[in-house]
């Protein structure tokens, strides 16, 4: 049972473009939504995270948009650079009863061409 569905599986954008990755969740108890960036052979690195009490959060060139009623959230990478080429994972966790256990999406491979 996949509780977090992520799309697309992969995408290619030119330098300066804005890749957008979408995630949908089912469990209404989820209250923490992080995004992780993973390069080949490395562990996931925490990029940015959002709680459901806000609809948008920006950190540098990364923006999370959150739609609580639709149970969806997305990652936008502004002014993308070739160095942003990586696999991105969305995740969710619930406060009560799961102690921060992260449920991950399947990942999106992003390629930024020069």
Partner 1 sequence: DAGVTQSPTHLIKTRGQQVTLRCSPKSGHDTVSWYQQALGQGPQFIFQYYEEEERQRGNFPDRFSGHQFPNYSSELNVNALLLGDSALYLCASSLTSYEQYFGPGTRLTVT
Applying CB under 8 A, does 93 fall inside the site for partner 1?
yes
- Map residues 45-64 to x or -, x wherever contact with partner 1 holds by CB under 8 A: xx--x---------------
3-state secondary structure the chain: CCCEEEECCEEEEECCCCCEEEEEECCCCEEEEEEEEECCCCCCEEEEEECCCCCEEEECCEEEEEECCCCEEEEEECCCCHHHCEEEEEEEEECCCCCCCCEECCCEEEEEEC
Query: Which CB sits closer to partner 1, 17 or 52?
Result: 52
In this complex, which beta carbon is closest to partner 1, that of residue 11 or of residue 106? Answer: 106
Q: How far is the CB of 88 from partner 1 (least distance, A)?
A: 10
Check residue 15 for interaction with partner 1 (CB under 8 A): no
Distance CA 27, CA 58 (A): 24
Among the listed residues 8, 58, 101, 113, the single contact to partner 1 using CB under 8 A? 101
Q: What angle do CA 76, 112, 17 make, to 5 degrees?
A: 50
Stretch that binds partner 1, among 12-20, 59-67, 73-81, 93-101 (CB under 8 A): 93-101
Query: Under the rule (CB under 8 A), what is the footprint of partner 1?
Result: 6, 32, 34, 36, 41-46, 49, 89, 91, 93, 95, 98-107
């Amino acid at each position: 049972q996949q509780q977090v569905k992520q799309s697309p599986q992969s995408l290619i954008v030119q330098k300066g473009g804005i890749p957008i990755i979408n995630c949908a969740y089912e469990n209404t108890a989820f209250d923490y939504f992080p995004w992780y960036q993973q390069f080949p052979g490395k562990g996931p690195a925490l990029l940015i995270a959002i709680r459901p009490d806000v609809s948008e959060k920006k950190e540098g060139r990364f923006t999370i948009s959150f739609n609580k009623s639709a149970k969806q959230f997305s990652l936008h990478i502004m002014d993308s650079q070739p160095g942003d080429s990586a696999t991105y994972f969305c995740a969710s966790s619930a406060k009560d009863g799961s102690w921060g256990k992260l449920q991950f999406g399947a990942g999106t491979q992003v390629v930024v061409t020069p």
